[in-house]
């Protein structure tokens, strides 16, 4: 074992003096932001806020499932069906019907696309710059949520596609899906225990993802003040808990009969 000479150190194949990732040609300003990892994290945080807002309002709107049947224009209908129809009528005198809803949807699709692409390319970068330890190493600060973001993210994406196929597109043949019949579709789908378990597990994963995401977003955006930093953890735990409790309650309520669909309750008020 001869000692390595000075030239060996510099010219070695994995010499540290050469960048692992060459700096890309700089694009004009708003795009140059997305060329760097710090900028990509910033994009992930901003799109994460948009997606979090969607998840919160989605959960809040779904709470209408608990209100059951109400009277509307002399007819008894399920409250959540009216709410779903109202979303298509959002800002109607200002926009034609469904336009504003589609505007929101395109915004969401763009946020999802950017969030996923940024996550994918940052993961690629991190795998390329990392060297694993040969011995077992300890984790002192990293928690389950922070270590599993990649996996919970992929699970949430897979669940999202399943959820759209199940309740938006009606592609699951066994559920008797009908457009506009929100209460009936939800009850039909979630009364299958297998589907209910998929929803419960996926929403636990979503809450875990949100727990680290909300905390992490403050750091990525540079929002940091030692006086309030502990609040970021509380906010993350609080938001994750609200979304977890709200979303998991729906499949459980359907399975226990708290939310059900009874066509005999509907119809004109006599």
Partner 1 sequence: MSTKLNLTLSVWRQPGPEARGQFVTYPANGIPDDASFLEMLDMVNEQLIEQGELPIEFPHDCREGICGTCGVMINGRAHGQERGTATCQLHMRKFSDGDTIVIEPWRAAAFPVVRDLVVDRSPLDKIIEAGGFISAPTGTAPDANEIPVPKEVADSAMDAAACIGCGACVAACPNSAAQLFTSAKLWHLNSLPQGQAERFRRTEAMVETMESFFGSCTNHGECTEACPKEISQDFIAYMNRDYMKSLVYNRRLAGQR
Residue closer to partner 1 (CB basis): 4 or 268: 4
Angle in degrees, 0-180, between the axes of helices 182-190 and 229-256, rounded to the nearest 10: 90
Measured over all CA atoms, what is the biggest interatomic distance in the chain, rounded to whole angstroms? Answer: 98
Q: Which of residues 68-127 bind partner 1 (CB under 8 A)?
A: 122, 125-126
Contact between 6 and partner 1 per CB under 8 A: no
Contact between 25 and partner 1 per CB under 8 A: no
Instruction: Fill in the per-residue mask, 212 to 241: x = in contact with partner 1 (CB under 8 A), - = not in contact.
Output: x--xx-xxxxxxx-x--x------------
Contact 159, 209 (CB under 8 A): no
Instruction: Report the run of H or E that residue 136 belongs to, with start and end.
Output: none
Structure token digits, residue 69: 């049947």
**What number of other Cβ atoms are within 10 A of residue 11's Cβ?**
10
Phi, psi of 148 (to 5 degrees): -110, 15
Nearest CA to 79 out of 177, 156, 182 is that of: 182
Contact between 173 and partner 1 per CB under 8 A: no
Nearest CA to 197 out of 167, 205, 90 is that of: 205
Among 135, 256, 264, 270, binds partner 1 (CB under 8 A): 135
Residue closer to partner 1 (CB basis): 64 or 232: 232
Residue closer to partner 1 (CB basis): 97 or 147: 147
Instruction: Fill in the per-residue mask, 183 to 202: x = in contact with partner 1 (CB under 8 A), - = not in contact.
Output: --------------------
Contact between 128 and partner 1 per CB under 8 A: yes
Structure token digits, residue 248: 């998991």
The nearest distance, CB 42 to partner 1, in angstroms, is 6
Instruction: Report the run of H or E that residue 162 belongs to, with start and end.
Output: helix 149-163
Among 7, 134, 230, 256, binds partner 1 (CB under 8 A): 134
151: three-class secondary structure by DSSP: helix
Footprint of partner 1 on this chain (CB under 8 A)?
1-4, 8-9, 12-17, 19-23, 29, 32-33, 36-42, 122, 125-126, 128-142, 146-147, 149, 212, 215-216, 218-224, 226, 229
């Amino acid at each position: 074992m001869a000692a390595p000479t000075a030239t060996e150190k510099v010219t070695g194949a994995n010499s540290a003096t050469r960048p692992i990732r060459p700096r890309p040609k700089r694009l004009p300003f708003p795009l140059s932001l997305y060329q760097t990892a710090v900028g990509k994290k910033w994009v992930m945080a901003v799109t994460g806020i948009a997606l979090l807002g969607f998840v919160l309002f989605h959960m809040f709107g779904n709470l209408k499932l608990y209100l059951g049947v109400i009277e509307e224009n002399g007819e008894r209908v399920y409250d959540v069906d009216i709410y779903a129809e109202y979303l298509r009528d959002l800002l109607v005198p200002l926009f034609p019907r469904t336009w504003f809803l589609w505007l929101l949807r395109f915004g969401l699709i763009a946020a999802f696309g950017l969030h996923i692409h940024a996550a994918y390319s940052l993961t690629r970068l991190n795998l390329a710059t990392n060297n694993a330890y040969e011995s077992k190493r300890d984790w002192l600060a990293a928690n389950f949520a922070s270590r599993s973001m990649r996996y919970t993210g992929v699970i949430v994406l897979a669940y999202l596609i399943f959820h759209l196929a199940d309740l938006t597109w009606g592609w699951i043949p066994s559920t008797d899906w009908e457009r506009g019949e929100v209460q009936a579709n939800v009850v039909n789908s979630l009364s299958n225990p297998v589907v209910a378990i998929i929803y419960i597990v996926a929403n636990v994963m979503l809450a875990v993802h949100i727990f680290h995401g909300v905390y992490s977003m403050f750091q990525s955006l540079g929002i940091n003040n030692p006086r309030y930093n502990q609040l970021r953890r509380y906010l993350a735990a609080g938001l994750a808990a609200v979304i977890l409790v709200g979303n998991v309650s729906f499949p459980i309520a359907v399975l226990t009969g708290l939310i059900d669909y009874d066509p005999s309750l509907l119809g004109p008020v006599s």
